[in-house]
Chains A and B, each alone.
Chain A
Amino acid sequence: NAGVMQNPRHLVRRRGQEARLRCSPMKGHSHVYWYRQLPEEGLKFMVYLQKENIIDESGMPKERFSAEFPKEGPSILRIQQVVRGDSAAYFCASSPSPPRGNQPQHFGDGTRLSIL
């Protein structure tokens, strides 16, 4: 009964490179949320996706960041032309039903992104 799986756990990139973070939700979950956490801070919402649809991307930076959740395969958070300020822990959470179903989100163990 696997939980939310994120990979890689640690990712190092040089400035200007691309970072791809993957998230496989819990079995049976079709709703995925991405959050970013800076040191000593709480998690900040970035984007909410269902299969093949972006529902809410109000927390995503307008440039360089994109997310997808294809029909098959994991959800991907993509950061192009990374900068030092992108260094953070990125967490994915999944839930089995829409928000009104009151199903709480379960989190993966995150990807720690370091930009050199």
Chain B
Amino acid sequence: GQQLNQSPQSMFIQEGEDVSMNCTSSSIFNTWLWYKQDPGEGPVLLIALYKAGELTSNGRLTAQFGITRKDSFLNISASIPSDVGIYFCAGSGSQGNLIFGKGTKLSVKP
């Protein structure tokens, strides 16, 4: 079946640092989405990508949809403490159902 591989699994950030994470798939997706999930809450949509090669920004977040439609990256610039959480990539299946990666957990450096 379709699978998304997300990396890194976890990372530590210091306030002000830039963060980068990515997602790859063996299958082509027509839509690629990035969500953030805080503990005890549902995923919140950050960025939606619809066209191969598309580069989209949302404030300090930037995401790109790979030209092959099999990968995407998410960058966070000048991180702040509230960026902590779990970031999920998701590809849209043929019926619109989402296939999720396992997430990248962002934590604050001790």
A residues near B, CB below 8 A? 4, 6, 31, 33, 35, 40-45, 48, 55-56, 59, 91, 93, 95, 98-99, 102, 104-110
Contact = CB atoms under 8 A, between A and B. Distances in A.
A42 B100 contact: yes
A42 B42 contact: no
A108 B42 contact: yes
A92 to B, nearest CB: 8
Given A42-B102, A104-B45, A59 B97 contact: yes
A106 B42 CA distance: 9
A33 B97 contact: yes
A48 B99 CA distance: 13
B33 interface: yes
B54 to A, nearest CB: 12
A42 B9 CA distance: 12
A107 B96 contact: no
Interface residues of B, number: 27
Contacts of A4: 42
B98 A48 contact: no
A106 B40 CA distance: 16
Query: Which of B41, B97, B100 has the largest number of chain A CB atoms within 10 A?
Result: B97
Contacts of A44: 100
27 contacts: A4-B42, A6-B42, A33-B98, A41-B103, A42-B4, A42-B100, A42-B101, A42-B102, A43-B90, A45-B93, A48-B96, A48-B97, A55-B95, A56-B97, A59-B97, A91-B42, A91-B43, A93-B98, A95-B96, A99-B94, A104-B48, A105-B45, A107-B35, A109-B40, A109-B42, A110-B41, A110-B42
B92 A99 contact: yes
